[in-house]
Structure 1
Amino acid sequence: MVRGIFALRETFSGLFMKLFASAAVAALLLANPVLAQAAPKPAAKVTGQLAQLPDVDIPYTKFTLANGLTVIVHEDHKAPIVAVNVWYHVGSKNEPKGRTGFAHLFEHLMFNGSENFNDDWFKALEKLGATDMNGTTNEDRTNYFQNVPTAALDQVLWLESDRMGHLVGAIDKAKLDEQRGVVQNEKRQGQNQPYGQVWDVITASTYDADHPYGHTVIGEMEDLDAASLDDVKNWFKQYYGPANAVLVLAGDITPAEAKAKAEKYFGDIPSGPPVMRQKAWVAKRTGSQRAEMQDRVPQSRIYKVWNVPPYGSADAAYLNLLGDVLVSDKTSRLYQRLVYTDQIATNVGAGVSESEIGSQFVVTLTVKPGGDVAAVEKAFDEEFQRLLRDGPTPEEVAKVRTLNLSNFVRGVERIGGFGGKSDILAESQVYLGSPDAYKVGLERIRGATAAQLQAAGKAWLSDGDFTLTVTPFPTYSTTAGVDRKTMPEAGPTKAPAFVKLERATLSNGVKVILAERHETPQIHLGMLFDAGVAASAGDKAGLTGITTSMLTEGTKNRDGLTISRELAQLGAGIGSGSGQDFTQVTLNTLTTTLDPALAIYADVLKNPAFKPEDLDRLKKQAIAGVQQAKQNPQAMSSRILPVLTYGPGSPYGQLTTEASLASISRDDLVRFQTTWLQPKGATLVVVGDTTMQALLPKLEAQLGGWTGAPTKTKAPVQAPPSKGAVYLIDKPGAQQSVIAAGNLLPPRDPNDQAALDAFNTLFGGDFVSRLNMNLREDKHWSYGAFSGVRDARGSRLFLIRAPVQTDKTAESFTEARKELTDIIGPRPVTPAELAKAQNSLTLSMPGNWETGDAVADSIGELVNYSLPDGYFDEYPADVRAVTVESATAAAKKAIKPDELVWVIVGDRAVIEPKLKALKLDIKVIDADGKPVQ
């Protein structure tokens, strides 16, 4: 069981890092003798029979306290010492996103004193004559261990139990900041070593970010910086209770004495909450992936990694033995070939880094100084593939079995430390559920055959390899630099020019607008219908969305799966969606596949089947989407704010609910489609690699026979509410509150649109806007706050939204309200702010039109709001013409403090008292806008 090779992957308490690093190097020397320079002697001739080795048994007594603490006792009276080993079943795999490094950071904190011994742990232990003492953290567990004289056992158990049950009160900000700094320096120290950043790259390259092993044990700097006192205390409360721990006492002690002492010192500690257990997640990979990096190292090194089964599995044991066949002593295959015979490498290593839910088989090849990396890899591949193809010899299997078993025997001579009896008993219990589970592994080693090793190798190492090559960083030099005191001025910019538009009309009344773009062989088509969410006013909320979604679920000629398959074969895609006043059905296809893709597109537009079974499935999905939205604070505010500002009777203020979706029938879909989604008056926007001459015959052939005229509606102009209000939606346990506010604006007016855009950009539309800079950059209460205008042909909605930390909800409300009132009052738009907004709006225009889809969206804006073709060509001049006075006037037009409707979503029990202290008239509603007492 070659575990010493990978000992340095664990993270140790900083005080004893040097000691254990030396131990790990010693283990590496024993298991991987490539560091020695003597030439290997010829292997002695041995048979395939296992050398005679004694059976290994570690007698134990196991019991569980009433609070869930598992206690394991092993008697060994050869010396008056006791090994105390506490394992907590928590490691880096338990860390949530954004909190990497927590397990290791907490390991450090637990050495800094508890409530009843608020001093450094080692001060107490060293004066007792303790040996072999430390703590480590890996992906799966955190452990603390020490060997102490029998006479000092009570004192050590008192200390261990005090930090298990009485630690929170001793953790303060000073200790957190101190240990945060220690850990960050540990990380810097590790990365500063030769090859020190290798495991960062390997971890990110061999595991997805959402895998429990998808981040390093030591964590990321920013996550460590973000760790708050409450975060740390909550982490302890979650994972460090007795029910999530194992205590092993090995040495000069009897089970009766151990039980009495365990009850005495640990029995009064509450169990702690339930803990989720991740089962095996091997993350087997396919194919071969590679990465290269440079480092300040003297020699190149090659790492090869495969994801393999977890600790305790049969294949992990066999792969470990196979690694020893490659690298175990001077006669092993890789050493003989690469180091001794070819002399192209100075160091080789191979083995399994075992973990609880998945392991990794790792090979390291250190190229001789100035050597050929490719030659080393080629030689390795030849030896490796030969081993997988032919399998190991009986003599090799006998050798590595004996090596593993003898190393195990040597390890259990000790009661503590890595590989000692207490360590083995704890590991077997925590990972495999029984203190003697190690015996299963030993028996697998005893009975391992060449065929089993070969089969495991073929199953797990024939595919899915990741190769990282580290090469020395070259020596570079610099040249004379530029003047760093003065930033160069930006040169003159070319005025943005919108694409040239061509227009035509099909025989059935469909208007066609074409923008040619021949840079890439692709075409975007978007059929715009004069009917959006507002078209279903007075009908069933959600009908527009369900109808448009159903278009791609099947036609009279193709079912949904057929549509999907045919489009995929053509490299094409059809999508649909609705805004307030329009519905769009799009086709994106390659120029070469336009004809067959257009036939499918036409079929979707003309012949929707609206099958009841598809409708039932889609309604269930939509209902699930509503239910999810009612649990998401940002989605909750987005659903309710329009209803409260427009009013539930407005076409723009409809609220889609589970009931409204459930009530939609096939007849409703047919009626909506035949009423609204008809060709006469619709506009087909085409952008891409074609010409009108080539396009029109194709469109006429596919769409010309499609007839029908839609109903026309007038865009609603809504009278704003007479008085603003503050609404609160309770989201118990929410980690953030969401503050949203809005009021209604008149319909779009081309004469002041540029001024409105400039005002919104500087107020909340850009990163450097007032609202975001206040709540994010200055106060650090929000990740981002913004403002915008929800466009419509009728009355529009000006809104702001800011997710903020829960304990700053009232303060954030006050700041947001102040920003809204200040810009139309004591702190109006400044010339500098306006200039910045004007640059942002105009200089970004060419970049905003980089893709055909983006150009199509802008053409759609022209169509939906009846704007002239030259609107975007004139827009930069309109923006540049905005003055401080006109921008301020636009702000006053947009912001009506007395009409603002506020929606705050958060943990009511936490945020309501401070909100009420602001003298707000708060109305509490549920996620559907209904009053709550």
Structure 2
Amino acid sequence: MSFRFASASLLALSLTACATVPAETPLAPVAPAAEAAPADVATLLDAVAIPYEKFTLDNGLTVLVHTDRKAPVVGVTTYYRVGSKHEPRGRTGFAHLFEHIMFTGSENVENFDIPLEAAGSTGTNGSTSPDRTNYVETVPTGALDLALMMESDRMGHLLGAVNQDKLDKQRGVVKNEKNQGDNQPYGLVRYLINDGLLPVGHPYRHSTIGSMADLDAASIADVREWFRNNYGPNNVVLALTGDIDVETARAKVTRWFGDIPRGPEVTPAVAAPVNLAAPVSRDVADQVPQTRVYRLWTGPGMKDADGTALQVGMHVLGGLASSRLDTALVREEQLAVNVAAYYDQEEQLGTAAVSMDIRPGVDRAVAEARLDALIADYIASGPTEDELRRAATQIVSGQIDGLEQVGDFGGKGMTLAEGELYTGDPEFYIKQLRSLASVRPGEVKGAMQRWLSRPVYKLAIVPGPRTEKGALLGGWGDEGTVPAPAPDAKKPAPPIVQGPPRAMPEVGPVKPLTFPTVEHARLSNGIPVTLARRTAIPKVSMAVEFDAGIAADGAARAGTQSLMMDLLDEATTTRTAQQIAEEEERLGADIGTGTDRDASVVRMTALTANLTPSLALMADVIRNPAFAEGDVTRVKNQRLAGIQQALASPQALAGRALDPILYGAAHPYGSVGALGKPEVVQALTPAALRTEHGNWIRPDAARITVVGDVTMADLLPRLEAALGNWTAPAGTAQPKNLAAPVPAPTPRIVVIDRPNSPSSVLLFGRVLPITGAQQGLESLDLANEVIGNGFLSRLNMDLRETKGWTYGIRSGIASSAGPRSAVVQTMVQADRTGDSIRAVIDQMKAFPATRGVEPAELQRVTEGNIANLPTRYQTNAAVLGALISNQRFGRPDDYQARLPEIYRAIDADAIDAAAREYLQPDRMVVIVVGDRKVIDSQLAGIGLPIEYRSASEF
């Protein structure tokens, strides 16, 4: 799937030292795995029901309406029945290119994002798959008319606003998106899979993003013809979900869409699964650290009963944490560091895939033979009843999480619209889940034998110089032998007669955020407990935080804390890793560990009905890790492989270099991040990890935060039973010295060579003279939003929308307890590396020296942010994150509810002052990861000292 704008997440920031404290006495055994009651899948399925009503306009537009009044917001989800499988030869990538063009404005709307974000829209985005194109936004109820007017304007009043300049700019953005994906380790696999499985001309063979040649050939005439043939209302499903009812929806949709004429019907594609005549094997060299092998077959589309059986069957094989492949290849025999199996299902075609990253040092032939033997045995024997039930519970529980959102990607609107578009039944998802929950072992065995006993495509990505060029992949497939149709890109298109002007409606009143009431308590051993009760779904989300994090390591011990945390759920003194995984799956729980800059965290989501046994399992993981020799060795090997993968990824490599350069080795934050250094990881022993656990994972350093369907009166006794008798060991952990000095800023360019890179990663950073404890810095947050945090930011509008040099650029202010940092990150086309650095510097210097915050920007980041508060806190996870931030940084419980008054008190002068003080480029280091042969000559005239570093240093 290809998106209009995938946010470039800011790279991990990092790190300190610790003292030796005796480990605590282990807790008595909690409930053994065999006593865990399985979740009631039938009850879970009731929780994912989405009641809806449906109507159709005279022009064929199908409308689905679901009422959910929990927040004053409406999800607007529009699905067009056109995707890459409908593209003709020579026009690959058109559906996705057009997805981008449809955001650039229509005859009556200059820019879709500006009015939507000003009105409080969130999640404004679009995506393209082989089967469809969609557009999503979630808006305050008072802005629904605005959203519908704009969706209808681009459906019925678009072509008069599409010109050569817009086409050329979005073509550049898409080409950079393609390069960004191709530039990753294993980044060409998406093309190679379809090339090996499907013949030339099969509708699913060419990639959604298309080929460079076809993108270059697109003309205005082509674009107009594509739009007229595919974007009529009779080819559209519109879902309105949230604070809306069918009567209101009918009136509004008729008003805005009723006069748009029908268009041609989209011709259905003929796209059946393909049987290979014989097994196919292919090795492709790439700049990767480990060999990855695939086993691949095509399969049926989503309406075929075998599709459901294959989905759950592949999940048992390699999707569950307790999967057969994980158990044998990773845990027991340690032939692989990572395995996966899945069934990727489109409307008319599916792909069954198994992948394995072979552990360094293992003979490839031995690993592959064992993988093939396990697959063959599974096809012959099929899954057990228990495996199927655990897989079904996990899949359904995950679906519940997605349905917390009324709109956006993965929310209720998408779920209903996809069922209607693909099957004519908006409730197809629930029928599919019921089928999945009731499927029997014999049915799965039969489906696996029918589809996976056919000739297999074996693909291997092996370490070496990259032999394939992504620019030449993704197209029709016969470009080397048959010339593409001659492009007509230079011929001017005749003018379009525009329709009568349409005025944008006024935005109605926006209801304020209702943030849940926050309660506090303590366990008998002093652990603080914070709860926000939310009853939208029958689940509870929880975080148990410890005041440690990457900063507990420091540069010298980088990776110690996170490796210790990774081992918590590998085995306890009473449970094996397999038992832990199986128990989670039966309960419908998800327990995970993590390490950020300032804290080490155990997180859990659990079904309310199974909260007590889920807490018992989590408590065992926290308190009684085994740190067995075999588990430690295995996880260390996986971590070492993960470090090599990071060094092969340009973004991850830049991220590893950032904090050592900014903070220096003497500061707790000055390490390469959570993965750590290979020599540190290699030296860790079970005894050292037990000491690390005793030092930092202790009740006097813990805090529990809970959001979900439980009361404090019900929660506290359960937490007390699980964690209340946990006593702190003698002594105290050595505090992290976050006040340690950092190096004086030395502006320069640091170049890390990555040969054969079609794009360059740019990472600008500086340490700020502020810490997380300082309050009243919201003006800095808003200034950051103006310059680089969001689609409409100055940096993104310049480098992406105006210049077309990048797929996206972001800036951010690190949320850390100690000194915070300002970071700008992007990936740009390699031949524009130097120009992009200059453009970023120029934009940052200009704000506010020659261009202070403008009225539209001020309105967007103040009133627009106030209006979008209800949509930002729709989910348990979002509320949990807000509570954790409030506690870490000393904010009041009602901080989110106070934001409207805080934002309204911030004026243009305050935002300009924050930009002048904290967001100037003169103190920034610029890290460049790219091909020196291409970029060296571009950097010479920038005026900054240039320093060359090796990837091995990080």
Tell me the TM-score normalized by structure 2.
0.51
What are the equivalent positions in structure 2 for 1:742-757 lying under 5 Å apart? 742-745=765-768, 746-748=770-772, 750-757=774-781
The alignment status of 1:603 with 2:592, answered yes or no, reads: no
* Residue in 2 that maps onto 1:672: 692
* Residue in 2 that maps onto 1:692: 712
The alignment status of 1:627 with 2:644, answered yes or no, reads: yes
Provide Cα deviations, 1:460-502, integer angstroms capped at 9, x if missing partner: xxxxxxxxxxxxxxxxxxxxxx996321222222222322111
* Residue in 2 that maps onto 1:901: 925
| Cα displacement (A) at 1:290 | 8.8
| Cα displacement (A) at 1:281 | 5.1
**Gap change, CA 1:727 and 1:288, over 3 Å in 2:** same
Supply the distance in 2 between the matched residues of 1:183 and 1:486 (Cα, whole angstroms): 26
Letter of the 1:820 partner, please give it: M
- The answer to whether the 8 A contact 1:509-1:682 is kept is no
The alignment status of 1:578 with 2:601, answered yes or no, reads: no
- The answer to whether the 8 A contact 2:773-2:817 is kept is no
* Residue in 2 that maps onto 1:505: 522
Residue in structure 2 matching 1:590, options 607, 621, 627: 607
* Residue in 2 that maps onto 1:563: 580
* Residue in 1 that maps onto 2:633: 616
The alignment status of 1:715 with 2:732, answered yes or no, reads: no
* Residue in 1 that maps onto 2:869: 845
- The answer to whether the 8 A contact 2:773-2:889 is kept is no
SS at match of 2:569: helix
**Gap change, CA 1:582 and 1:915, over 3 Å in 2:** same
* Residue in 2 that maps onto 1:862: 886
- The answer to whether the 8 A contact 1:540-1:663 is kept is no
Supply the distance in 2 between the matched residues of 1:835 and 1:721 (Cα, whole angstroms): 37
SS at match of 1:827: coil
Letter of the 1:587 partner, please give it: M
**Gap change, CA 1:807 and 1:698, over 3 Å in 2:** same
Supply the distance in 1 between the matched residues of 2:748 and 2:348 (Cα, whole angstroms): 63
- The answer to whether the 8 A contact 2:299-2:349 is kept is no
| Cα displacement (A) at 1:668 | 2.2
Letter of the 2:827 partner, please give it: P
**Gap change, CA 1:194 and 1:282, over 3 Å in 2:** farther
| Cα displacement (A) at 1:894 | 1.6
**Gap change, CA 1:928 and 1:777, over 3 Å in 2:** same
SS at match of 1:630: helix
Q: Aligned Cα RMSD in Å?
A: 4.4
- The answer to whether the 8 A contact 1:10-1:137 is kept is no
The alignment status of 1:886 with 2:896, answered yes or no, reads: no
Letter of the 1:663 partner, please give it: A
SS at match of 1:509: coil
Residue in structure 2 matching 1:724, options 747, 758, 770: 747
Residue in structure 2 matching 1:496, options 510, 513, 520: 513
Supply the distance in 1 between the matched residues of 2:220 and 2:584 (Cα, whole angstroms): 53
Relative contact order, CA 8 A, sep 6+: which one is greater? 2
Letter of the 1:678 partner, please give it: R
Letter of the 2:613 partner, please give it: P
Supply the distance in 2 between the matched residues of 1:589 and 1:641 (Cα, whole angstroms): 36
Letter of the 2:766 partner, please give it: N
* Residue in 1 that maps onto 2:896: 872
**Gap change, CA 1:181 and 1:752, over 3 Å in 2:** same
**Gap change, CA 1:666 and 1:840, over 3 Å in 2:** farther
**Gap change, CA 1:290 and 1:681, over 3 Å in 2:** closer
* Residue in 1 that maps onto 2:758: 735
Between Structure 1 and Structure 2, how many residues are aligned? 533
Provide Cα deviations, 1:534-587, integer angstroms capped at 9, x if missing partner: 112265211111111111111001011100101100101101112211111112
**Gap change, CA 1:752 and 1:189, over 3 Å in 2:** closer
Letter of the 2:860 partner, please give it: K
What are the equivalent positions in structure 2 for 1:72-111 lying under 5 Å apart? none
* Residue in 2 that maps onto 1:682: 702
Supply the distance in 2 between the matched residues of 1:582 and 1:279 (Cα, whole angstroms): 37
SS at match of 2:799: helix
- The answer to whether the 8 A contact 1:752-1:890 is kept is no
What are the equivalent positions in structure 2 for 1:352-751 lying under 5 Å apart? 485-537=502-554, 539-655=556-672, 656-708=676-728, 710-711=732-733, 712-716=735-739, 718-745=741-768, 746-748=770-772, 750-751=774-775
Provide Cα deviations, 1:21-78, integer angstroms capped at 9, x if missing partner: xxxxxxxxxxxxxxxxxxxxxxxxxxxxxxxxxxxxxxxxxxxxxxxxxxxxxxxxxx
**Gap change, CA 1:784 and 1:859, over 3 Å in 2:** same
| Cα displacement (A) at 1:509 | 1.4
Supply the distance in 1 between the matched residues of 2:746 and 2:700 (Cα, whole angstroms): 42
- The answer to whether the 8 A contact 2:667-2:738 is kept is no
What are the equivalent positions in structure 2 for 1:60-139 lying under 5 Å apart? 138=201
SS at match of 2:906: coil
Letter of the 1:905 partner, please give it: V
| Cα displacement (A) at 1:610 | 1.1
* Residue in 2 that maps onto 1:283: 298
- The answer to whether the 8 A contact 1:509-1:681 is kept is no
Letter of the 1:898 partner, please give it: D
* Residue in 1 that maps onto 2:830: 806
What are the equivalent positions in structure 2 for 1:240-319 lying under 5 Å apart? 282-285=297-300, 288-289=303-304
| Cα displacement (A) at 1:897 | 3.1
The alignment status of 1:791 with 2:802, answered yes or no, reads: no
The alignment status of 1:836 with 2:856, answered yes or no, reads: no
- The answer to whether the 8 A contact 2:765-2:824 is kept is yes
Supply the distance in 2 between the matched residues of 1:306 and 1:493 (Cα, whole angstroms): 44
Provide Cα deviations, 1:640-694, integer angstroms capped at 9, x if missing partner: 1111011122110112222222122222211111111101242111111111111
| Cα displacement (A) at 1:601 | 0.9
SS at match of 2:531: strand
Supply the distance in 2 between the matched residues of 1:280 and 1:561 (Cα, whole angstroms): 25
Which is greater in Rg?
1
Supply the distance in 2 between the matched residues of 1:9 and 1:878 (Cα, whole angstroms): 50
Supply the distance in 2 between the matched residues of 1:175 and 1:511 (Cα, whole angstroms): 57
Supply the distance in 2 between the matched residues of 1:654 and 1:819 (Cα, whole angstroms): 30
Supply the distance in 1 between the matched residues of 2:939 and 2:870 (Cα, whole angstroms): 45
What are the equivalent positions in structure 2 for 1:22-41 lying under 5 Å apart? none
**Gap change, CA 1:98 and 1:580, over 3 Å in 2:** closer
- The answer to whether the 8 A contact 2:551-2:669 is kept is yes
Supply the distance in 2 between the matched residues of 1:207 and 1:748 (Cα, whole angstroms): 56
Letter of the 1:744 partner, please give it: V
Provide Cα deviations, 1:50-109, integer angstroms capped at 9, x if missing partner: xxxxxxxxxxxxxxxxxxxxxxxxxxxxxxxxxxxxxxxxxxxxx968999x99xxxxxx
| Cα displacement (A) at 1:827 | 1.8
* Residue in 2 that maps onto 1:911: 935
- The answer to whether the 8 A contact 2:844-2:919 is kept is yes
SS at match of 1:783: strand
Supply the distance in 2 between the matched residues of 1:814 and 1:546 (Cα, whole angstroms): 40
**Gap change, CA 1:186 and 1:893, over 3 Å in 2:** closer
Supply the distance in 1 between the matched residues of 2:230 and 2:894 (Cα, whole angstroms): 60
